[in-house]
Every structure is written in C-alpha cells, then in structure tokens.
Amino acid sequence: MSPPVLIVFEQLNYTKPDGIHAIFMPVIIEFSRYIRTYSSAKFELLIDYFRVRFPTTDALEIIRDVLQLKADYMLYEDYGKYGYESKYVLGDINIMCSMQEYLGVLLELKGKGCRQLESYLLAQERSWYDFMLDCMTAGGVMKRLDLAINDRAGILDIPKLKEKYMAGECVSYFRKQKNYGSIEKCGDDTPKNTGETLYLGSTSSELYMCAYRKN
C-alpha cells in the first residue's frame, strides 16, 4: 500500500466582504461538491482549519444563529487568545469574545473542531456550504481556511512531483517553491527516508500549498 499523502491548501485570507463573494465563494462551492462526490476511506477531502470573525460583541447571538447550538451546554472561560477577553468552549470548538468592537467575536476550529462541527451540521441537516453562507449572512470575515486532501490510494506521487519540480517542469503562479526530505538514522543503522514535503507559495502569502508524504 502506498504511504498516505496529505495536501493542505492554507491561509486563504480575504478580509473584504466583496472579496469573499467574488473569490472565495467558488472555492467553497467546488470543495463542498468534491467532498460529497469523491470522499472515501482512501481519498478524503477535508476542511482542516477554519477561522472567521464576526463584527459584533454578542457571542451568544453567533452561537444561537450561526452555530445553532445552545450556550448553556458550553463552558465559559474568562480568558481567551489573540487579545480576546473570554471564550465559550464546546469540546474543540472555540468562540472568542470581547467587548472591543474592532475585535468582535472570533470562531476558531482546528482539525478536531472541524470534525466535531461536522457531526453537529449533520444533525442539523446543514453542509459546510450552508454553514459558511450563514457565517457570511452574519457579516463574518474569513480569516483563515485550510483545505486538506488525504490520499491513501496512492493517486498523488510526491517524489514524482518533486522530481518534476527539480527538473523545472513546475508551472505555477506561486513565486516561491520549496521542497524538503526527512531522514531518520539510529546508531549505525542505514539512514532511511521518513517523509517528503513540497511547498508551493510563501507561508506569509494569502494562499500556499503544502504536500507531504509520511513513510
């Protein structure tokens, strides 16, 4: 069996509402369609990180109307991250709160939080697409979105992609590309390759792609 390959498209940062609809919505539509069509045990299409900020200080409204959850079942903590004063927590779902209007309310979902939200969306008969539309309707600004492809079927050959990259066969709008190899050696053992990674784009740009294989 081929080693699993993970491709992550990270940091889609569109801060203007018109930019979200003009540029980001086609990504949401297409990815939502592919998730329903092509996901299987060996080839998964996932949203792996999601962060959105709402222009309101009413976190309870966001919990009720956007997440469609009950705040009574959430843990309230009087501290937060990123300068926020407090947060509501339900498992791995985090809602940061502040009385500062410029901060608003921030929803952060890491990998496990995304999987947890999916279970709630399933019970609510909503999709990621429906949920993101609700976020936008509430004035949400997407701060970061990571799209991940888990390939356990061997469709994507990272060493072959790196070989073509090194041969100058990579045609891309990305101005920066990097590739890495990982080597493991214990004592006098023969060193062995433990992974392959290929980056397209800069980690400081609005969009970059990371493809890696773990042996």
Q: List, for residues 180-189, the tens digit of each pLDDT value.
A: 554 443 445 5
pLDDT in tens, 6-23: 444 444 444 444 434 444
Q: 0.95 exceeded by the pTM?
A: no
CA distances from 130 to 2, 32, 40, 122 (A): 35, 10, 22, 11
Half-sphere exposure of 173 (CA within 13 A, CB side): 4
User: Between β-strands 75-77 and 86-90, what pairing exists: parallel, antiparallel or unpaired?
Assistant: antiparallel
- Residue 140 DSSP SS3: coil
What is the Cα–Cα distance from 114 to 178, expressed in whole angstroms?
28
CA distance 162 to 144: 27
pLDDT for residue 152: 75
Which pLDDT does position 32 carry in this prediction? Answer: 59
* 3-state SS assignment for residue 123: helix
d(CA 101, CA 59): 12
Radius of gyration of the chain (CA): 20
Tokens describing residue 73: 């079942």
Q: 85: which 2 tokens?
A: 């004063």
The region of weakest confidence among 36-45, 106-115, 118-127, 143-152 is 36-45
Residue 47 is predicted with a pLDDT of 87
Q: What is the mean pLDDT of residues 199-212?
A: 70
State CA 48 to chain mean position distance.
4
Q: What is the 3-state secondary structure (H, E, C) of 138-159?
A: CCCEEEEEEEEEEECCCCCCHH
What per-residue confidence (pLDDT) applies to 140? 93
pLDDT the model gives residue 203: 65
At residue 22, the pLDDT reads 44
Best CA proximity match to 119, nearest among 153, 90, 82, 151: 90
Q: What is the pLDDT, as a whole number, of residue 144?
A: 85
